[in-house]
Amino acid sequence: MIHRKHPKGAPRGIGMTSQGTRDRLVRRLREHGIRDEDVLRAIASTPRHEFVDEALSSRAYEDTALPIGLGQTISQPWVVARMTEAVLDGGSPDKVLEVGTGSGYQAAILASLIPQVFTVERIEELLKLARRRFHKLGLKNIYTRHADGHLGWPSQAPFDGIIVTAAAIQVPIELIRQLRVGAVLVAPIERRGMQRLLAIRRTEEGYDEEDLGGVIFVPMLSGLS
Ligand code: SAH
């Protein structure tokens, strides 16, 4: 469970970042088909406003993606919830990998559900901010790395689940190799000019695919920045 720290003197329970506002978001996610109670609880207890610029904090509990600078976005809560559900569907994972730390929000949600979360980001500046947030929120089970996520995190493989939060033009084979048999990789993949959210389950022989619907993500890029 996440331990939230309120700055001294900060108002609790009122305003656009209150628990009530967060609970409204959870109700909306439930109405839009999110069923996993653990995932809903994680969303209810994670302060999304801590993951965006202060100027945007009043919009943090809208079910929408928001800019986080450097041309990147924090994912829409529904998408975060759906991806988390899909990765938990691979059993009860002990160790997951996220590609695309961004604001750190998705990693924080995973960290309240899974013992070990590994996350890689190619933009150092974003990673620094995310690390600061993990520290502030007391999230000690998130391991970060400034790296190109196409390569995964070989020394920590195999993973019990992998979440890719940037859109790739094809299923990243190296990531599938780092997945335990039976585990799920969730990723937005371009198909016929559109992005589809795919849940890819590794099997003994190869992998199976399930299409979870259309999504919009920033592109997965190569190299470091
Ligand atoms: N999970 C994030 C979403 C961030 S948007 C959140 O919850 O806020 C996607 C992120 O993927 C961006 O920060 C982008 O820089 C990063 N990204 C894109 N290509 C990447 C790559 N090859 N390796 C690692 N990160 C990548």
Structure tokens at 2: 């996440």
Beta bridge partners, 189, equal 168, 196
What is the biggest distance separating any 2 CA atoms in the chain, rounded to whole angstroms?
Answer: 57
Which one has a higher pLDDT value, 74 or 4? 74
Does any domain span residue 224? no
Tokens 């559109």 correspond to 194
Ligand 1 atom closest to the CA of 74, numbered from 1: 8
Does any domain span residue 5? no
Structure tokens at 151: 């390569």
With the most atoms of ligand 1 within 8 angstroms of its CB, the residue from 101, 197, 216 to mutate is 101
At residue 19, the pLDDT reads 87
Query: If you write DSSP's letter for every residue of 17-58 in order, what string do you get?
Result: TSHHHHHHHHHHHHHTT---HHHHHHHHHS-GGGGS-GGGGG
The CA–CA distances, whole Å, from 17 to 21, 45, 56 equal: 6, 12, 11
Could you give the 3-state DSSP secondary structure of residue 11? Answer: coil
Does any domain span residue 220? no
Does any domain span residue 64? yes
DSSP conformational letter for 92: S
At residue 14, the pLDDT reads 53
This prediction has a pTM of: 0.93
At residue 5, the pLDDT reads 46
Express each pLDDT in 68-79 by its tens digit. 999 999 999 999
Q: Count other Cβ atoms within 10 Å, centred on residue 67.
A: 12
Residue nearest to atom 17 of ligand 1 (CA): 100
Does any domain span residue 208? yes
Strand-strand pairing, 95-99 and 66-69: unpaired
Express each pLDDT in 115-156 by its tens digit. 999 999 999 999 999 999 999 999 999 999 999 999 999 999
Q: What is the CATH number of the domain that holds 184?
A: 3.40.50.150
At residue 8, the pLDDT reads 44
What angle in degrees, to the nearest 10, is found between the helix axes of 37-45 and 19-31? 150
C-alpha to C-alpha distance for 221 and 167, rounded to whole angstroms: 9
Range of the domain at 33: 19-214
C-alpha to C-alpha distance for 197 and 210, rounded to whole angstroms: 9
Contact residues for 30 (Cβ-Cβ < 8 A; gap 6+):
40
Structure tokens at 165: 């939060």
Does any domain span residue 225? no
Per annotation, catalytic residue among 57, 75, 103, 112: 75
Does any domain span residue 8? no
User: Using a 6 Å CB cutoff, which residues line ligand 1?
Assistant: 72-75, 99-100, 102-103, 105-106, 120-123, 126, 148-150, 165-166, 218, 220-222
At residue 178, the pLDDT reads 98
Amino acid at 211: D
- Asked if the peptide bond before residue 67 counts as cis, ω within 30 degrees of 0, the response is no
At residue 9, the pLDDT reads 40
Evaluate whether 63 touches 29 at the Cβ level (below 8 Å).
yes
Amino acid at 42: A
Percent of the residues in the chain that have a pLDDT greater than 90, as a whole number:
89
Express each pLDDT in 170-223 by its tens digit. 988 999 999 999 999 999 999 999 999 999 999 999 999 999 999 999 999 999
Give the total number of structural domains in the chain.
Answer: 1
